């Protein structure tokens, strides 16, 4: 089992409370959900979420995903996991307050 992560706000996550899936705020424009490996989480937090509170880190089991997962080149020539479809909540192992 491989675990990857998604950062979101508590408020945004709550909008999907009664659904069996999750979509990121940028999903409709970008057509994928940004995810990170363990090593990438701290950099993502520093670059995109500095000073923000009420954040959640979703722990996602890659083997349980129902949409296509692709590792694509992004910032600093790093390869980030991108989920091309909704995140089925059955793949979310832990919702961690950070």
Residues 22-51: tens digit of each pLDDT? 999 999 999 999 999 999 999 999 999 999
Beta strand pairing call for 87-88 and 21-22: antiparallel
- CATH number for 44: 3.20.170.20
Per-residue pLDDT, 70: 98
Could you give the number of structural domains in the chain?
1
Residue 35 within any structural domain of the chain = no
Residue 81 within any structural domain of the chain = yes
User: What value does the mean pLDDT of the chain take?
Assistant: 96
Residue 33 within any structural domain of the chain = no
| Encoded tokens for 63 | 């083997």
Tell me the whole-structure pTM to 2 decimals.
0.95
Residue 56 within any structural domain of the chain = yes
Dist CA 31 CA 90 (whole Å): 20
Q: What is the span of the domain harbouring residue 66?
A: 3-18+40-97
Residue 26 within any structural domain of the chain = no
Q: Which of 1, 4, 19 is nearest to 69 (CA)?
A: 4
Per-residue pLDDT, 76: 79
């Amino acid at each position: 089992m491989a675990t990857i992560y998604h950062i979101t706000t508590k408020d945004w996550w709550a909008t999907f409370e009664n659904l069996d899936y999750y979509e990121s705020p940028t999903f409709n424009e970008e057509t994928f959900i940004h995810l990170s490996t363990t090593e990438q989480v701290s950099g993502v937090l520093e670059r995109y979420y500095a000073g923000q509170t009420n954040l959640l880190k979703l722990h996602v089991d890659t083997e349980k995903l129902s949409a296509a997962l692709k590792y694509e080149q992004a910032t600093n020539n790093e390869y980030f996991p991108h989920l091309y479809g909704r995140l089925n909540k059955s793949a979310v192992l832990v919702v961690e307050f950070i």
